[in-house]
């Protein structure tokens, strides 16, 4: 690993010089380190760039790290990662991504992840995105996530964009089986001329399954964000999507949540709210001794937690 990779890993995947347990570190399209465990096997794909992660049935309390870093301009990294989570497993997956631009050319990472979660398994998936560097080349991160949840399984996704990403399109799709549950929590902030688009498309196929999609974002500078979601209920199920966005300076946001109820017992709700920070919130914090800029930063920090 080079020094830029190490710096990015510390931010996006809580790297402290080494990882415990199973891990695969991707650097500029290649493997910079890999380790499997008795219960979690990581192997290279034979037909595509990327890896297969097999988690044995009944695995409990283990974490697998699969961070990816692009450390210079003129890199267009494409990777396919498939997760096969065995029945009854309960694991954490950490998959941060950092992109560093140091020149005129674009630096891009596109991770295509598929999750096949067997009956009764539970997965917590954490992902942080970060762009760094003083190059003029665009920093791009375009993740695609496909989720397939079998009966009684669950996946909790927590995704965060920390800043510095010039363009990102984030696509998440899923098929949810009986009594399974998908929870997605997205938090992102854009500034300057940055652009971010989110696409959710989830189908609930099994009886008594549930989906909860939550997005919180802040658009600063002249940045622009777009949020699109569609939840389809094809059985007795519950679905909820929520998009809350704060506008600052000249930032703009488009939010278009959609619902499709194709069963008499499908219960679906969507919420969307866009607006600037309330003046009374700023005033209250200023009475405590904060400047206007400090007050706004404090409010944004709390909003994105």
pLDDT in tens, 121-159: 999 999 999 999 999 999 999 999 999 999 999 999 999
Examine the pLDDT at 303 and tell me if it is beyond 80.
Answer: no
- How confident is the model at residue 285, as a pLDDT? 67
Kindly report which listed range (87-96, 214-223, 282-291) carries the lowest average pLDDT score: 282-291
Q: CA 154 to CA 119: how far, in whole Å?
A: 9
Q: How many domains does the chain have?
A: 1
- CA geometry: angle 9, 12, 14, nearest 5 deg: 70
In a domain, 97, yes or no: yes
137 belongs to a structural domain: yes
Q: Which domain holds residue 210?
A: 3-280
Q: What share of the chain is helix, strand, coil (3-state, %, to 5)?
A: 10, 55, 35
In a domain, 32, yes or no: yes
Of residues 283 and 14, more confidently modeled: 14
Residue 280: its pLDDT value, please?
A: 73
pLDDT bin (cut points 50, 70, 90) of residue 182 is very high
Highest mean pLDDT among 97-101, 275-279, 287-291: 97-101
In a domain, 118, yes or no: yes
Tell me the pLDDT band of 49, cut-offs 50, 70 and 90.
very high
In a domain, 50, yes or no: yes
Cα angle for residues 160, 20, 128 (degrees, 5° grid): 10
CA-based torsion, 296, 299, 301, 304: positive or negative: negative
Query: Residues 225, 192: contact at Cβ < 8 Å?
Result: no
- Give the chain's mean pLDDT: 94
Sign of CA dihedral 155, 158, 164, 168: positive
The pLDDT, as a whole number, for residue 282 is 73
- pLDDT value of position 14: 87
47 phi and psi, to 5 degrees? -115, -10
Q: Which residue has the higher pLDDT, 153 or 303?
A: 153
- Read off the pLDDT of each residue in 215-227 and give the average, rounded to a whole number: 95
Q: Closest by alpha carbon to 221, among 189, 197, 253, 249?
A: 249
What's the CA gap between 183 and 282, in Å, rounded?
32
CA distance 183 to 177: 14
Mean pLDDT, rounded, for 250-261: 95
- Asked whether residue 210 carries a pLDDT value surpassing 80, the answer given is yes
Give CA–CA dist 57/61, Å, rounded.
Answer: 12
284 phi, psi to nearest 5 deg: -60, -45
**Mean pLDDT of all residues in 266-291:** 81
Query: Given the DSSP bridges, would you call strands 144-149 and 122-132 parallel, antiparallel or unpaired?
Result: unpaired
Q: Is the residue at 127 inside a domain?
A: yes
E strand or H helix at 183, and its extent? strand 181-190
Does residue 292 lie within any of the structural domains?
Answer: no
239 to 50, 77, 117, 158, 231: CA distances (angstroms): 33, 34, 20, 18, 7
Residue 151 C-alpha from the chain's centroid: 24
Give the E-state strand segments of 66-121 in sequence order: 68-70, 75-85, 90-94, 97-100, 107-117
Residue 166 has pLDDT above 90, yes or no: yes
């Amino acid at each position: 690993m080079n020094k830029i990779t190490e710096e990015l890993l510390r931010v996006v995947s809580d790297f402290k010089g080494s990882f415990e347990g199973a891990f695969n570190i991707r650097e500029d399209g290649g493997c910079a380190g890999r380790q499997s465990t008795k219960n979690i096997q990581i192997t290279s794909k034979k037909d595509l760039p990327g890896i297969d992660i097999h988690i044995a049935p009944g695995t409990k309390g283990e974490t697998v790290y699969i961070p990816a870093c692009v450390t210079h301009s003129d890199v267009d990294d494409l990777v396919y990662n498939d997760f096969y989570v065995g029945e009854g497993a309960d694991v954490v997956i950490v998959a941060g991504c950092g992109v560093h631009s140091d020149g005129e050319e674009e630096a891009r990472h596109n991770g295509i992840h598929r999750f096949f979660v067997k009956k009764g398994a539970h997965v917590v998936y954490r992902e942080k995105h970060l762009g760094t560097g003083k190059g003029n080349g665009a920093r791009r991160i375009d993740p695609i996530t496909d989720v397939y949840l079998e009966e009684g399984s669950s996946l909790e996704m927590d995704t965060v964009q920390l800043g510095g990403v010039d363009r990102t399109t984030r696509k998440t799709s899923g098929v949810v089986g009986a009594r399974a549950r998908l929870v997605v929590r997205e938090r992102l902030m854009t500034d300057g001329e940055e652009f971010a688009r989110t696409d959710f498309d989830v189908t609930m196929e099994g009886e008594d399954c549930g989906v909860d999609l939550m997005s919180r974002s802040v658009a600063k500078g002249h940045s622009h964000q777009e949020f699109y979601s569609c939840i389809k209920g094809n059985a007795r199920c519950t679905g909820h999507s929520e998009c809350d966005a704060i506008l600052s300076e000249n930032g703009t946001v488009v939010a278009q949540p959609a619902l499709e109820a194709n069963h008499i017992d499908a219960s679906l709700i969507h919420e969307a709210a866009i607006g600037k920070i309330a003046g009374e919130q700023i005033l209250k914090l200023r009475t405590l001794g904060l400047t206007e800029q400090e007050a706004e930063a404090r409010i944004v920090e709390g909003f994105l937690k």
